[in-house]
Amino acid sequence: MDDIAASKSGYHHGNLKAALLAAARAILEESGHSALSLRQCAKAIGVSATAPQNHFGNKSGLLTALATQGYAELAAYMRASLVPDANRKERRSAALQGYVAFALENPALYELMFARDRVLADDKALLEQVGACFAVLADISQELDLFPNTGADAAARGQVFVWSLVHGYAQLATAGRFKKEAMKGLDILSIFPKGNQTG
């Protein structure tokens, strides 16, 4: 039955999971988390209500797959405009701008990625993609000299600073909080400290 429905809805056997994820993504962005369910995803692409369970198990599994997809895309956004031999300053600019662009273009998915108790936090695939994003942030937090003479934890402080700044900015931007005239022209690079960047 699922194969027949799949054929009628325009996709073929073998990519049902991708089709379900695409449907879930559309529902999430259009109607929000509360409207998203396995049943709604199945209905959107014309398969049986039980078909998504074979791929995701339950709603938490579906949301985890969406969040995993989101982190993979976020990492790609942070590297999108880079040339192969980009230096750290160029990598930093690209990553910061890419991070914010992803959040602005995918607000519901971005919110889901950082929501508590909605995804399976110990999922291997999810952790792998989170790690890939953090690797980018760890790289661009180097050579900033933000916390001199802090010893062994200097790198950790730099990473927390960079992630907090770009994540906080992205959240405020997606919420439309920068409404004052003086704030409207300030992008993420405008507010990032420049005087102490050495890379």
pLDDT band of 143, cuts 50, 70, 90: confident
Where is mean pLDDT largest: 26-35, 48-57, 82-91, 98-107? 98-107
Mean per-residue pLDDT, 128-151: 88
Domains of the chain: 1-57 (1.10.10), 58-199 (1.10.357.10)
pLDDT band of 154, cuts 50, 70, 90: confident
Q: What mean pLDDT, rounded, does the chain reach?
A: 89
Judged against a pLDDT cut of 70, whether residue 109 lies above it is answered with: yes
pLDDT band of 12, cuts 50, 70, 90: very low
Percent residues over pLDDT 90 in the chain: 74
pLDDT of residue 108: 96
**pLDDT tens column, 23-36:** 999 999 999 888 89
Judged against a pLDDT cut of 80, whether residue 103 lies above it is answered with: yes
Mean per-residue pLDDT, 44-67: 94
pLDDT of residue 19: 95
**What string of DSSP letters covers the chain?**
-HHHHHHHTT--TT-HHHHHHHHHHHHHHHH-GGG--HHHHHHHHT--TTTTHHHHSSHHHHHHHHHHHHHHHHHHHHHTT--TT--HHHHHHHHHHHHHHHHHH-HHHHHHHT-TTSS-TT-HHHHHHHHHHHHHHHHHTTT---STT-GGGHHHHHHHHHHHHHHHHHHHHHTT---SHHHHT--HHHHS--TT---
